[in-house]
A and B are shown apart, each in its own frame.
Chain A
Amino acid sequence: DGGITQSPKYLFRKEGQNVTLSCEQNLNHDAMYWYRQDPGQGLRLIYYSQIVNDFQKGDIAEGYSVSREKKESFPLTVTSAQKNPTAFYLCASSIMGGRRYEQYFGPGTRLTVT
């Protein structure tokens, strides 16, 4: 079955530690995205990538970093510079084309930093 996987589902870290969230897709989509969702709030874009070895900052990129070494993979690192890292992190992917196609989401990772 094609889809997007994120691991782990729950992640707990101490303040001051960097942590990397995994995102893998086998949909053969070119574009991949990372969002953050806080309780009762909408999705906010952290980073997105349209092609391997290239990515763009979203609206809240500070304190985060990404890489796109393979088409299928788009890991997100939450660094110690991120002031409020506790949140629900969602990875998504989409086809690229002349029009904007629908995005598909992974199941998400809930990160808690104490």
Chain B
Amino acid sequence: RKEVEQDPGPFNVPEGATVAFNCTYSNSASQSFFWYRQDCRKEPKLLMSVYSSGNEDGRFTAQLNRASQYISLLIRDSKLSDSATYLCVVTPPSGTYKYIFGTGTRLKVLA
């Protein structure tokens, strides 16, 4: 089993739609969780950290479910500019500064 798994997509959704992605992780003691956005041929950019209580930033909501070992990202009112690959990132327990990246979920928002 991969340490971090994501559905590669693509998820094709119309503008204005709500879309959700999940990311599962294998180590129950994982410490920190993040969502990054990566545009084609560019570097990943931090979208948001994921906190235990869940957190929201505008149209984006992130949730953490430690019992089932997954994090989720919800995008409301999708824009064309949301088209990108969304990377899930998990850090192992204390003692190492490795960050483990999922392979990403590709989103295409259609006009």
Contact = CB atoms under 8 A, between A and B. Distances in A.
- The yes or no verdict on A and B being binding partners is yes
A42 B101 contact: yes
Nearest to B43: A105
Contact of B98 (A41, A45, A99, A110): A45
Nearest to B104: A42
A111 interface: no
A42 B34 contact: no
Given A100-B31, A104-B46, A108-B43, A43 B101 contact: yes
Contacts of A106: 43
A90 B99 contact: no
Interface residues of A, number: 25
* Interface residues of B, dominant DSSP: loop
Size bin of chain B's contact surface: 20 to 34
A41 B104 CA distance: 8
Contacts of A50: 97
B32 A100 contact: yes
Contacts of A88: 41
B72 to A, nearest CB: 18
A100 B34 CA distance: 10
Contacts of A75: none
A107 B42 contact: yes
Interface of B: 31-32, 34, 41-46, 49, 87, 89, 91, 97-99, 101-104
30 contacts: A35-B101, A41-B103, A42-B87, A42-B103, A42-B104, A43-B44, A43-B101, A45-B98, A48-B98, A50-B97, A88-B41, A90-B43, A94-B97, A94-B99, A99-B32, A100-B31, A100-B91, A100-B97, A101-B32, A102-B46, A103-B34, A103-B89, A103-B99, A104-B46, A105-B43, A105-B44, A105-B45, A106-B43, A107-B43, A110-B41
